[in-house]
Amino acid sequence: MDIRESLKKLPSVERVLEDERIRARTGRLSRRGVIRLVRDRIDALREEVRSGAAEPPAEADEALGRIVGETVAEIDSIGGGRLRTVINATGVVLHTNLGRARLGRRAVEAISTAAARCTDLEIDLADGRRASRHRRVARLLRLLTGAGDALVVNNNAAAVLLAVDTLARSGAVAVSRGELVEIGGSFRLPEILGSAAGRVMEVGTTNRTHLGDYEKAIDDGATLLLKVHTSNYRVVGYTSEVPLGDLTALGARRGVPVMYDQGSGILFPLEEEGIEGEESIVPIIERGVDLLSCSADKVLGGPQAGLLLGRGDLIERMRANHLSRALRVDKLTLAGLEQALVHYWRGEFDELPSLGMILLPADGLRRRCEALAAELRSSAGAGARIDVEAGESSIGGGSFPSNPLPTALVKVTLQAGGPERLAQSLRRADPAVLVRVKGDAIYIDLRTVTEEEQPFLLERLAEGIGSHRGRK
């Protein structure tokens, strides 16, 4: 059939809008958007037919049915209005693509209450006067860390931006070339610093930076010395870096503040549990650093936020910076963060899900994996080979890159079909399941799967394996 004749069979926008299924899904305010969806689907089918990617419609009714069906599916998808639930079976505890730290039950309840009701966010109920929205969280952070004061913004990049804008807008920030990191989404520290500082002074080399490099930077006008914890990579071999204590001593001697971008936000002393490689906040504050920035939604286990801790006079200057208004957090974030910090204050570490997952011992995980493997062999039948192997989990979120956690893994090797196809079907399930794919198998790490999620995981795996049985 001639392509031009086939294209004539495509319906008009108005013809599609007249279909009862479309009309039933079109509201007063959504009509403009529905028209756009219809037009996009018609244009897409036209291009697919022209390029040969789609079979030309034989009849006008066929083209209409296809356009209507695809549009209805898209309208219903948009109308669902929710993020999809995912069972994280990858073993990456702080999975950035899945929202990083899970919040505990009481933090979720605090957020729900704050969302549904009026709160004393910026009012002191004792005297009826306006108060700081940060007062409760800042007090907890001061008491937990020993910092002079604290400020909360919407993420760690914002914390760095605000600090540099406040302390180096009219001067310069000095940072080692070996610490000019790139973070998620291809955002790079030099660009962030460059948008806030009068000058960015790169000191030292990629692999070696000395105290004298910072001293020269001060002589050349540096008003802030920035040390960045390279949490998502390591430089090894012929290397040299300036210890934070030496840098803070230099800053104190020369009257230039020293800031440490710690990143991971570690309040719990993980090294006491044998998880080494990164230092927690408290000893860093105790060594006299003037300012520390970190994330709240990584190892700390709270909602997305950036924390600034340190000297009271520096925090007050940042609080007075007009940027702090643009970067401030809302009542929901503060409610969740406050509850997470309360758990630290009370020693209720088992109420912090992400921290609990990090601390899970490998032997307990192996027992859970053996039990899951036995159930899976029974429910999946002969569709796959199920094994349990030793493996490694990752803390994730750019934390502890060279310090994996020992774990156990359930290995599923299909007797027919490839692992990618099974992984895809698991992602399309409800709830979706995310697994590791390596070689001819998928791997399930129960470190990041809760006890409540495990029955759903078993069901999705059994369904996925069953659907691939007999495929070649």
Residues near 279 by beta carbon (within 8 Å), at least 6 away in sequence: 262, 266, 271
Give the pLDDT confidence score for residue 52 in this predicted structure.
78
Residues near 308 by beta carbon (within 8 Å), at least 6 away in sequence: 150, 151, 152, 153, 159, 162, 163, 291, 292, 293, 315, 318
CB-based contact 94:100 (threshold 8 Å): yes
Give the amino acid at 258.
V
List pLDDT tens digits, range 286-301.
999 999 999 999 999 9
Tokens of 336: 């969740």
DSSP state of 130: E
Count of other CB atoms within 10 angstroms of residue 439: 9
Distance separating alpha carbons of residues 42 and 74, to the nearest angstrom: 13
What's the half-sphere exposure (Cβ side, CA atoms, 13 Å) at 10? 21
Strand ranges for 13-132 from DSSP E? 86-88, 92-94, 123-124, 129-130
Give the amino acid at 91.
G
258-263/123-124 β-pairing: unpaired
Strand ranges for 138-245 from DSSP E? 149-153, 172-176, 182-183, 187-188, 199-203, 224-228
Q: Which residue has tokens 């549904």?
A: 116
- Domain ranges within the chain, ordered by starting residue: 3-79, 105-351, 358-468
CB-based contact 104:341 (threshold 8 Å): no
Give the amino acid at 285.
I
Q: Which of 256, 245, 261 is nearest to 221 (CA)?
A: 256
Number of DSSP helices (H) and strands (E) in the chain, helices first: 19, 18
Q: Walk along the chain (472 residues) and give the pLDDT tens digit of each residue.
A: 577 777 888 899 999 999 999 999 999 889 999 999 999 999 998 888 888 777 777 788 888 998 999 999 999 888 877 788 999 999 999 999 999 999 999 999 999 999 999 999 999 999 999 999 999 999 999 999 999 999 999 999 999 999 999 999 999 999 998 888 776 666 788 888 988 998 999 999 888 999 999 999 999 999 999 999 876 556 666 778 889 999 999 999 999 999 999 999 999 999 999 898 888 999 999 999 999 999 999 999 999 999 999 999 999 999 999 999 999 999 999 999 999 999 999 999 999 999 999 999 999 999 999 999 999 988 876 678 999 999 999 999 877 766 889 999 999 998 766 799 899 999 989 899 999 999 989 999 999 999 999 999 999 998 888 776 555 4
Q: Which residue has tokens 């208004």?
A: 325
Q: Which residue has tokens 């219809």?
A: 38
H or E, element range at 52? none
DSSP state of 401: T
CATH number, domain 105-351: 3.40.640.10
**Cα angle: 16, vertex 22, 23; to 5 degrees:** 105
Distance separating alpha carbons of residues 336 and 333, to the nearest angstrom: 5
Residues near 251 by beta carbon (within 8 Å), at least 6 away in sequence: 225, 257, 258, 290
CATH number, domain 358-468: 3.90.1150.110
Strand ranges for 342-435 from DSSP E? 384-396, 405-414, 432-434
Distance separating alpha carbons of residues 440 and 419, to the nearest angstrom: 6
Q: For the CA atoms of 182, 183, 184, 188, what is the dihedral angle to 10 degrees?
A: -50
Count of other CB atoms within 10 angstroms of residue 326: 12
